[in-house]
């Protein structure tokens, strides 16, 4: 705990240390089921893939620096921009937010000692890692997916893309989707059932609401993508006819299925950013969040309404006006819950006493970019305008303001915000502020001119453009700014890396934060809390009496649960104590199962069905081993 | 063990403790929730498959295409009816598990397994028969027809494997908290798969109705 522990309380702490102690070394990391270690593994894997996606972005920008560029061939350009999109969306943003931030922070924020299913949590990570490697093997072989991240047929059909580039996409995304599905089931059950007794739903932090909303959105959105990819692979590898108009199939089926997933996906990407913002803003404005219940409802409403707008990506395919008008209206309606949150953030900042430390600056940047990206999104809901700028750089500008400006800036702010909690050390504030301004200016200057280029008629996905169209100057400016942006991102990584070794120690609660994670030591011990915390409001760290009560409870050994790997389970709505859950300590089965699953998908890619069945049998055996000593439910 | 708020210690290590916990617990167990959420995902998959079936149908003039006879109603309906009836032994098995009656659980799950495996065998035979008349490669109708049925049969096969795992572990380890919850989750799985069987059947037979 944060305060000095008495000898009597220390007895319980020592017992917990023995029970929850992690294995050391590589084996410890391979077999870990600790949500914090898994979160850290997610973080570094996602960061590495962010680096890869960033290098791809710089290659694209370098190619487009001037007219008639020759840095990349047309075929290489197709692969690079496709991998950039796939990487940033499937392999960076979602794993970074749900995998890294969610895994590390969610159990801490709700006062639990781990996720509901620790081994399934580890399995999610190992599958994610394997699916990332699977995708990047394609690039290393020169056979990376090359039909854009939304991979439209018939371009992606066997007729027009006969090599196995697209098969890496099809099988890779199904593979990756298994990881996400397992992860979100775990998040939902953890939020429903593992909240500290007393943390009823109306006392749950808004961060957790955002993750609950995103988990449900992913759960219901991913099947559509998986089915679309399954149809694609059945067409490509087994001669089925789902997308072949000549045999009764429908190419537009792909677009519908993809965007039924793809538009909720935008909110899946941005909702965790909302959650991070709602965690950072109260801390640095020193006041409670304005409109707490409305913000919680708005987070859930955004996820729900996100399922009803997908056709606004398809305004140019020739659907009837009544159809497109419905989806245009739905796209405008979704502005309402987004604006509720926006006004709540702004009102909280304006009515509080804001302190502009680096994490808060990134949140201000997020708000600015979200407004810009949101407003350009509203313009795209206007059907004639959308038809005019469809497939132009205007669209690229819009979604980069949303996906990079609005979704990634809170991630960067969150990295600074929780760095002291994860490492126990403070970062360099001056370098932090410099990194913010570099990143902010780099982002704005890279993406804002794309609006103008789009309105001038520059088409996306073309590997170059001729001289004399007036595109050259703005493209050159964008490319220079992209390198400035990359410099800002590198400075963040360097700041945190150097601070990890040389930063001053910072104690358990350097920000006077409002949520429970700040009540435990930095970094948190393997058991998270010596006493399962008392919760009587959504801002438990500001309830000083409750924290003092926890110290007294530790003296009495109340709520310690030290005899075994245990955490309390509670009721869904009111979080009343319901049972004591026995958690599995560590396990080799998650990585083994993930390896066998990787075998299945590799064999499917290569068309060796019988060997794939063999690997499926290996999964069954691994699961038998897994359940041989079961203790989770 | 430590005192817990609101009552006596709960130690579900033994079958007797597991039964006490199951009867005292206010909320549904985590394993049940996980199965429910997994099934949400699976139901969405079937929703997508069935929507695809009708989306493709609305895009063509003749469905099924010329040369493919509409599906006969009797055989798949009888098989599906038998499968749906297995919800009863599964419901009683889940109830018996909460009461700690290991032998009843084993008997009822085994009974359900026999019928479910029989359903699977009949459906594979019917599908083999269909394959002699039209291929999934010939038309989009064939593609969605076999994919929809194949997805459902795969879920039935998975359910049979889960039945066998539960039978094995309950027989060897007893109705501990883990396997008690697993039995309840398995019952939930079959309720949903049985419901999906009806929807898949209605979709399959829609040209004949």
Tokens encoding B109 = 């799950």
Indicate the residue of A557, A570, A579 with minimum beta-carbon distance to B21: A579
Indicate the residue of A235, A563, A570 with minimum beta-carbon distance to B2: A563
Name chain A contacts of B26, Cβ cutoff 8 Å.
571, 576, 578
Tokens encoding A48 = 């590495």
State the smallest CA–CA distance between residue B53 and chain A in angstroms. 10
State the smallest CA–CA distance between residue A632 and chain B in angstroms. 7
- Cβ within 8 Å, pair A253-B10: no
Q: Give me the mean pLDDT over the A401-411 stretch.
A: 95
pLDDT of A528 above 70: yes
Q: What is the pLDDT of residue B24?
A: 83
Q: Identify which of A477, A400, A485 has the alpha carbon closest to the alpha carbon of residue A435.
A: A485
Q: Are A132 and A72 in contact (CB under 8 A)?
A: no
Q: Give me the mean pLDDT over the A278-291 stretch.
A: 95
Best of A11, A215, A248, A554 to disrupt the B interface by mutation (most B CBs within 10 Å)? A248
Q: Are A9 and A555 in contact (CB under 8 A)?
A: yes
Beta bridge mates, A459: A392
Name chain B contacts of A631, Cβ cutoff 8 Å.
178
Name chain B contacts of A219, Cβ cutoff 8 Å.
37, 40-41, 44
Q: Identify which of A491, A489, A352, A520 has the alpha carbon closest to the alpha carbon of residue A420.
A: A520
pLDDT of A266 above 60: yes
User: Which residue carries 């989009």 as its tokens?
Assistant: B140
- Cβ within 8 Å, pair B136-A253: no
B105-151: pLDDT as tens digits: 999 999 999 999 999 999 999 999 999 999 999 999 999 999 999 99
pLDDT of A388 above 90: yes
Name chain B contacts of A235, Cβ cutoff 8 Å.
143
CA angle A278, A284, A289 (to 5 degrees): 40
Q: What is the pLDDT of residue A5?
A: 74
Indicate the residue of B1, B9, B181 with minimum beta-carbon distance to A633: B181
Q: How confident is the model at residue A3 (pLDDT cuts 50, 70, 90)?
A: low
Indicate the residue of B40, B55, B169 with minimum beta-carbon distance to A220: B40
Q: How confident is the model at residue B3 (pLDDT cuts 50, 70, 90)?
A: very low
Give the nearest chain A residue to B21 (CA atoms).
A579
Q: Give me the mean pLDDT over the B181-206 stretch.
A: 97
Name chain A contacts of B178, Cβ cutoff 8 Å.
627, 630-633
Rg (CA), chain B: 21
pLDDT of A34 above 80: yes
Widest pairwise Cα distance in chain A: 80
Name chain B contacts of A247, Cβ cutoff 8 Å.
138-140
- Distance between CA atoms of B1 and A563, rounded to whole angstroms? 6
A108-137: pLDDT as tens digits: 999 999 999 999 999 999 999 999 999 999
Indicate the residue of A185, A241, A624 with minimum beta-carbon distance to B38: A185
State the smallest CA–CA distance between residue B140 and chain A in angstroms. 5
- Cβ within 8 Å, pair A234-B143: yes
The residues, ordered by sequence, that sit 6+ positions from A384 with a Cβ below 8 Å of its Cβ are: none
Considering chain A, what is the average pLDDT of its residues? Answer: 94
Q: What is the pLDDT of residue B11?
A: 55
State the smallest CA–CA distance between residue A574 and chain B in angstroms. 10
- Cβ within 8 Å, pair A578-B25: yes
- Distance between CA atoms of A240 and A422, rounded to whole angstroms? 50
- Cβ within 8 Å, pair B144-A242: yes
Give the torsion through C-alpha atoms of B2, B7, B8, B12, to 10 deg: -90
A150-187: pLDDT as tens digits: 999 999 999 999 999 999 999 999 999 999 999 999 99
A357-387: pLDDT as tens digits: 999 999 999 999 999 999 999 999 999 999 9
Name chain A contacts of B144, Cβ cutoff 8 Å.
242
pLDDT of A559 above 90: no
Q: Give me the mean pLDDT over the A209-229 stretch.
A: 97
Q: Give me the mean pLDDT over the A179-208 stretch.
A: 96
State the smallest CA–CA distance between residue B104 and chain A in angstroms. 22
Rg (CA), chain A: 25
pLDDT of A610 above 90: yes
Give the nearest chain B residue to A249 (CA atoms).
B140
- Cβ within 8 Å, pair A571-B49: no
State the smallest CA–CA distance between residue A241 and chain B in angstroms. 5
Q: Are A521 and A1 in contact (CB under 8 A)?
A: yes
A475-485: pLDDT as tens digits: 999 999 999 99
Widest pairwise Cα distance in chain B: 72
How many CB pairs (< 8 A) connect A and B?
Answer: 160
State the smallest CA–CA distance between residue A176 and chain B in angstroms. 15
State the smallest CA–CA distance between residue B112 and chain A in angstroms. 21
Name chain B contacts of A197, Cβ cutoff 8 Å.
5
Q: Identify which of A330, A340, A332 has the alpha carbon closest to the alpha carbon of residue A297.
A: A340
Considering chain B, what is the average pLDDT of its residues? Answer: 92
- Cβ within 8 Å, pair A241-B138: yes
Mean pLDDT lowest for which of A198-207, A272-281, A466-475, A579-588? A579-588
Q: What is the pLDDT of residue A40?
A: 97
- Distance between CA atoms of B85 and B40, rounded to whole angstroms? 22
pLDDT of A394 above 60: yes
- Cβ within 8 Å, pair A253-B44: no
Name chain B contacts of A577, Cβ cutoff 8 Å.
4-6
pLDDT of B17 above 90: no
Give the nearest chain A residue to B20 (CA atoms).
A579
- Cβ within 8 Å, pair B33-A188: yes
Q: What is the pLDDT of residue B7?
A: 43
- Cβ within 8 Å, pair B140-A568: no
- Distance between CA atoms of A355 and B9, rounded to whole angstroms? 47
- Distance between CA atoms of A629 and B176, rounded to whole angstroms? 11
User: Which residue carries 């509409």 as its tokens?
Assistant: B70
- Distance between CA atoms of A363 and A262, rounded to whole angstroms? 25
Name chain A contacts of B164, Cβ cutoff 8 Å.
none
Name chain A contacts of B56, Cβ cutoff 8 Å.
242, 248-250, 253
Best of A9, A235, A241, A307 to disrupt the B interface by mutation (most B CBs within 10 Å)? A241
Name chain A contacts of B2, Cβ cutoff 8 Å.
557-563
- Cβ within 8 Å, pair B2-A181: no
Name chain B contacts of A570, Cβ cutoff 8 Å.
27
A303-314: pLDDT as tens digits: 999 999 999 999
A518 C-beta neighbours (distance < 10 Å), count: 24
Name chain B contacts of A234, Cβ cutoff 8 Å.
136, 143, 147
Give the nearest chain A residue to B143 (CA atoms).
A240
State the smallest CA–CA distance between residue B73 and chain A in angstroms. 24
Q: What is the pLDDT of residue B188?
A: 98
State the smallest CA–CA distance between residue B178 and chain A in angstroms. 6
Q: How many helices (H) and strands (E) does chain A have?
A: 22, 2
- Distance between CA atoms of A27 and A23, rounded to whole angstroms? 7
Three-state DSSP class for A590? helix
Burial class of residue A107 in the structure, from the number of CB atoms within 10 Å of its CB (0-12 exposed, 13-18 middle, 19+ buried): buried
Q: How confident is the model at residue B6 (pLDDT cuts 50, 70, 90)?
A: very low
- Cβ within 8 Å, pair A239-B5: no
């Amino acid at each position: 705990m944060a305060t000095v522990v008495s000898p009597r309380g220390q007895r319980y702490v020592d017992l917990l240390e023995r029970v929850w102690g992690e294995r050391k070394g590589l084996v410890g990391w391979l077999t870990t089921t600790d949500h914090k270690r898994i979160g850290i593994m997610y973080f570094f894997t996602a960061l590495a893939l962010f680096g890869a996606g960033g290098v791809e972005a710089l290659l694209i920008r370098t190619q487009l620096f001037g007219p008639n560029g020759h840095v990349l061939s047309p075929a290489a350009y197709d692969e690079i921009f496709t991998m950039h999109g796939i990487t940033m969306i499937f392999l960076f943003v979602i794993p970074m937010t749900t995998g890294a931030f969610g895994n590390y922070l969610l159990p801490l924020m709700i006062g639990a000692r781990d996720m509901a299913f620790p081994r399934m949590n580890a399995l999610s990570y190992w599958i994610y890692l394997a699916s990332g490697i699977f995708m990047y093997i394609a690039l290393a072989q020169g056979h990376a997916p090359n039909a854009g991240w939304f991979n439209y047929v018939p371009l992606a059909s066997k007729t027009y893309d006969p090599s196995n580039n697209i098969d890496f996409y099809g099988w890779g995304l199904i593979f990756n989707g298994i990881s996400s599905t397992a992860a979100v089931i775990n998040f939902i059950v953890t939020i429903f059932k593992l909240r500290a007794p007393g943390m009823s739903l109306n006392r749950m932090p808004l961060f957790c609401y955002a993750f609950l909303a995103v988990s449900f959105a992913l759960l219901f959105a991913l099947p559509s993508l998986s089915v679309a990819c399954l149809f694609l692979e059945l067409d490509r590898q087994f001669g089925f006819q789902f997308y072949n108009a000549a045999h009764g199939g429908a190419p537009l089926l792909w677009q519908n299925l993809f965007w039924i997933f793809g538009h909720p996906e935008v909110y899946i990407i941005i909702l965790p950013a909302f959650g991070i913002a709602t965690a950072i803003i109260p801390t640095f404005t020193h006041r409670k969040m304005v409109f707490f219940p409305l913000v919680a409802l708005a987070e859930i409403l955004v996820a729900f309404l996100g399922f009803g707008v997908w056709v606004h990506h398809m305004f140019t395919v020739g659907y009837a006006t009544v159809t497109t008008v419905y989806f245009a209206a739905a796209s405008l309606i979704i502005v309402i819950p987004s604006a509720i949150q926006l006004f709540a953030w702004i009102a909280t900042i304006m009515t509080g006493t804001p302190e502009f430390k680096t994490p808060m600056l990134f949140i201000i940047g997020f708000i600015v970019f979200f407004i810009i990206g949101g407003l350009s999104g509203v313009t795209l809901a206007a059907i004639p305008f959308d038809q005019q700028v469809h497939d132009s750089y205007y669209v690229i500008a819009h979604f980069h303001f949303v996906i990079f400006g609005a979704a990634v800036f809170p991630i960067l702010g969150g990295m600074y915000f929780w760095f002291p909690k994860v490492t126990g050390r403070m970062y360099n504030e001056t370098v932090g502020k410099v990194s913010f301004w570099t990143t902010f200016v780099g982002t704005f200057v890279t993406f804002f001119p794309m609006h103008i280029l789009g309105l001038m008629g520059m088409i996306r996905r073309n590997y170059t453009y001729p001289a004399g169209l007036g595109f050259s100057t703005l493209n050159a400016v964008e490319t220079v700014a992209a390198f400035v942006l990359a410099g800002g991102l590198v400075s963040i990584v360097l700041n945190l890396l150097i601070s990890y070794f040389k930063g001053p120690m910072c104690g358990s609660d350097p920000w006077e934060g409002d949520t429970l994670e700040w009540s435990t030591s930095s970094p948190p011990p393997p058991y998270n809390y010596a006493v399962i915390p008392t919760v009587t409001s959504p801002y438990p760290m500001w309830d000083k009496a409750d924290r003092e009560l926890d110290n007294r409870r530790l003296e009495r050994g109340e709520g310690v649960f030290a005899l075994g790997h245990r955490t309390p389970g509670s009721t869904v709505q009111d979080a009343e104590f319901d049972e004591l859950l026995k958690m599995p300590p560590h396990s080799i089965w998650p990585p083994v199962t993930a390896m066998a699953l990787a075998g299945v998908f590799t064999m499917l890619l290569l068309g060796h069905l019988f060997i794939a069945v063999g690997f499926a049998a290996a999964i069954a055996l691994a699961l038998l081993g897994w359940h041989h000593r079961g203790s989770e439910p | 063990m430590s005192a817990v708020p609101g009552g006596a210690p709960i130690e579900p290590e033994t079958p007797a403790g597991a039964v006490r916990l199951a009867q005292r617990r206010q909320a549904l167990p985590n394993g049940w929730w996980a199965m429910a959420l997994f099934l949400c995902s699976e139901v969405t998959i079937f929703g997508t498959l069935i929507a695809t079936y009708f989306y493709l149908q609305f895009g063509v003039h003749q469905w099924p295409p010329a040369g493919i006879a509409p599906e006969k109603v009797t055989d798949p309906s009888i098989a599906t009816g038998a499968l749906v009836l297995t919800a009863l032994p599964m419901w009683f098995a889940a109830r018996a598990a909460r009461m700690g009656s290991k032998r009843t659980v084993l008997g009822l799950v085994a009974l359900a397994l026999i019928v479910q495996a029989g359903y699977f065998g009949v459906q594979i035979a019917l599908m083999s028969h269909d394959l002699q008349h039209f291929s999934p490669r010939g038309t989009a109708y064939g593609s969605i027809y076999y994919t929809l049925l194949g997805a459902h049969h795969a879920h039935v096969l998975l359910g049979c494997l889960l039945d066998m795992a539960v039978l094995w572990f309950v027989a060897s380890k007893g109705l501990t908290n883990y396997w008690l919850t697993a039995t309840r989750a398995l019952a939930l799985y079959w309720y949903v798969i049985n419901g999906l069987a009806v929807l898949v059947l209605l979709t399959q037979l829609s040209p004949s109705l």
